[in-house]
Amino acid sequence: MTSTAEPDSPADRQPGPGLRADAERNRERILAAARRLYASHGLGVSMACIAREAGVGKATLSRRFATPEELINAVFADRMDAYATATARALADPDPWHGFVGYVQAVCAMQAADRGFADVLAMTFPAAKALEARRDEAYHGLLELIARAKAGGHLREDFTHQDLAILLMANAGVIAATADAAPDTWRRLVGQMLRAWATPGTDLPPLAQAPAPTALYRAMVRLTRPAPGSGADRE
């Protein structure tokens, strides 16, 4: 990470022909830094830490993104688009159960690829209106997907959309705990949950292997230790 924050550039403070280009460069540096930090540490990273990582002053960051919600909205806009696309793709599948399984696997894979996105899926951000709008769009598509999978006889009647929310929260915890020691553990969790949700006799994807005992032990030990730099991330 950048050790010291650079002062605001003159173009950031004064009007002139270079303002737009410099401002856009600063914006992209901020977004890139936020993506890196959110992906590795989650959404608890402070705005001050992001400014240092980007090599800009706090005033520059606040001019580009006045609140954490604005920054989160900008960073995760493309991922929320992908989330909504996963829902649309699942609905387009002629086999409702196959579409449902693919949706669950795709969303959980997005969580595994980006810890920040794992937090986004498990939290709400009323001030980030564009992000919430895409989440609502995906949510209504999910309700239709659930109804179709139940009508096809492969998803248990007592399944509710809250069960998926529970899985996403659990998956976020598994990802955070096992990211270094056993990064594919989330696949096992998802496979077991699909088995719990399916009606008897339903075709299921192969179950991922359980993590090795030594890897799982390392992950459990990691849970008892503070994350490196966690204090700095939450100034």
pLDDT (tens digit, 9 = 90+) per residue, 98-142? 999 999 999 999 888 887 777 777 677 776 777 778 878 888 999
* Whether this model's pTM surpasses 0.85: no
pLDDT digits (tens, 9 = 90+) for 82-104: 888 899 999 999 999 999 999 99
CATH class of 77-224: mainly alpha
| CA proximity to 145, closest of 189, 202, 86 | 86
Q: What is the C-alpha to C-alpha distance for residues 209 and 204, in angstroms, rounded to an integer? A: 15
> Domain 10-66 carries which CATH code?
1.10.10
Q: What ranges do the domains of the chain cover?
A: 10-66, 77-224
CA-to-CA separations, 155 to 84, 98, 144, 151, 158, in angstroms, rounded: 21, 11, 13, 8, 9
Cβ within 8 Å of residue 9, ≥6 positions away: 22, 26, 60
Rounded percentage of the chain residues whose pLDDT exceeds 90:
51
Mean pLDDT calculated for residue range 212-234: 71
pLDDT tens per residue across span 58-77: 999 999 999 998 898 889 88
